[in-house]
Amino acid sequence: MSKTASITGGSAFRFGLLLLAMPLLLWLFLLVILPHMDLFLVSMRERISYGKYEFSLINYIEFFAEPLYWNTYVRTAVMSIFATILTLVIGFPVSYYIAKVMRGKGKNALFLMCLIPFWVSELVRTFGWMILLRESGVISNFLQWAGIADGPVEMLYNDAAIMVGLVYTSMLFMVVPLVSVLDSLDDSLIEAGYDLGGNAFTVTRDIVIPHAMPGIASGCIVVFMLTLGNYLTPNLLGGKDSLWFTEQIYTQFITRFNWESGSAFGFLLLILSSAIVWIGLKLSKQTLSETVG
């Protein structure tokens, strides 16, 4: 039965709807759609002299001509995919433990413990890792005290440090959807799997993972997106040689004030993230509104 619409009459209802839609339309057009269209237009022009621009593909050509740029681009993509997989592999057993092994109050407490670190700013978290990993840091001192290392060990400013930080920062966005999807898996399905002769491996492969697929997809998409667009963690933990693509965008925009090529870089990053998210959705047979919404 039609419910609310029936109460209000024709034109007044239309006007009300338009009024209600106004904030949404302003938000989407002024802050999302038009800025991105403009970003695209800016990326397709070349600055001839002050205030004079011409249509040109030079910004994109420059990107492919300069190995540093596209090396950074590919490196960022590969590292992001790797970080996403690592987050999934580390986070899945934890989510499973919270959702299926724990019961009652302990379960809620453990889940909350998972969340609380992430209410703290990413900056603070990264700062923590710097204190742990740096030459004069906690781990280095511990290794020396334990006699494993002879002198101070520098563990900052390398890819492994970046990876540790990225996985740490992304964990929440993997664990939350995984716990909620695993929570909805009926225990009796697992019991039935065992009852029909399955073992831990086959039950996980045939029952648990297919059921968790929407959660896995949504976790991976968000984690990948956040990792790809991250600036803070690679910059602080990776140091000068972190070679993250967002740093290139920042350099073009803020340091070199070359907005045209910065826009092109931004657009390329957007294409990369959309493409990989799209492929991920196709491979896992999910849709965006189901996974995110």
Interface residue with another protein among 83, 156, 162, 171 (CB under 8 A) is 171
CB of 91 vs another protein, minimal distance in Å: 9
Q: Indicate which single residue of 53, 82, 143, 229 sits in contact with another protein (rule: CB under 8 A).
A: 229
Q: What is the DSSP letter of 119?
A: G
94 binds another protein (CB under 8 A): yes
Secondary structure class of 285 (helix, strand, coil): coil
Rule CB under 8 A: which of 15-74 touch another protein? 17, 20-24, 27-28, 31-36, 38-39, 42
**Interface size with another protein, residues (CB under 8 A):** 95
CA distance 31 to 160: 36
DSSP β-bridge partners for residue 292: none
Q: Which stretch binds another protein (CB under 8 A): 53-61, 62-70, 81-89, 259-267?
A: 259-267
* Residue 12 sits in the site that holds another protein (CB under 8 A): no
Q: How far is the CB of 192 from another protein (least distance, A)?
A: 11
Give the tokens for residue 269.
Answer: 């990053």
| Among residues 174, 221, 237, 243, the one that binds another protein under rule CB under 8 A | 221
250 binds another protein (CB under 8 A): yes
Question: Whole-angstrom Cα distance, residue 78 to residue 235?
Answer: 17
Residue 45 in 3-state DSSP? strand
- Among the listed ranges 60-68, 81-89, 155-163, 261-269, the one in contact with another protein (CB under 8 A) is 261-269
Query: Phi and psi dihedrals of 113, rounded to 5?
Result: -60, -35
Residue 117 as a binder of another protein (CB under 8 A): the answer is: yes
Q: Does 119 bind another protein (CB under 8 A)?
A: yes
Is 154 within 8 Å of 134 (Cβ atoms)?
A: yes
Binds another protein (CB under 8 A): choice among 109, 274, 279, 282: 274
Phi, psi of 151 (to 5 degrees): -130, -175
Binding residue (CB under 8 A) for another protein from 48, 57, 68, 120: 120
Determine the Cα–Cα distance for residues 157 and 234; give it in Å rounded to an integer: 9
Contact 131, 138 (CB under 8 A): yes
Residue from 7, 146, 196, 283 binding another protein (CB under 8 A) = 7
- In whole angstroms, how close is the CB of 65 to another protein at the nearest point? 22
What's the min distance (Å) between Cβ of 240 and another protein? 11
C-beta of 76: minimal distance to another protein in Å? 11
Q: Report the relative pairing of strands 52-55 and 45-49 from DSSP bridges.
A: antiparallel
Residue 52 neighbours by CB under 8 Å, 6+ apart = none
In which element (H, E) is residue 49 found?
strand 45-49
Among 4, 104, 146, 283, binds another protein (CB under 8 A): 4
Neighbours of 33 (CB within 10 A): 12
Copy the structure tokens of residue 220: 């991976």
Contact of 263 with 39, CB cutoff 8 Å: yes
Site membership for another protein, residue 203 (CB under 8 A): yes
Q: Is 216 in the site for another protein (CB under 8 A)?
A: no
Residue 191 touches another protein, criterion: CB under 8 A: yes
Q: Which of 162, 178, 181, 190 binds another protein (CB under 8 A)?
A: 190
> H or E stretch including 54?
strand 52-55
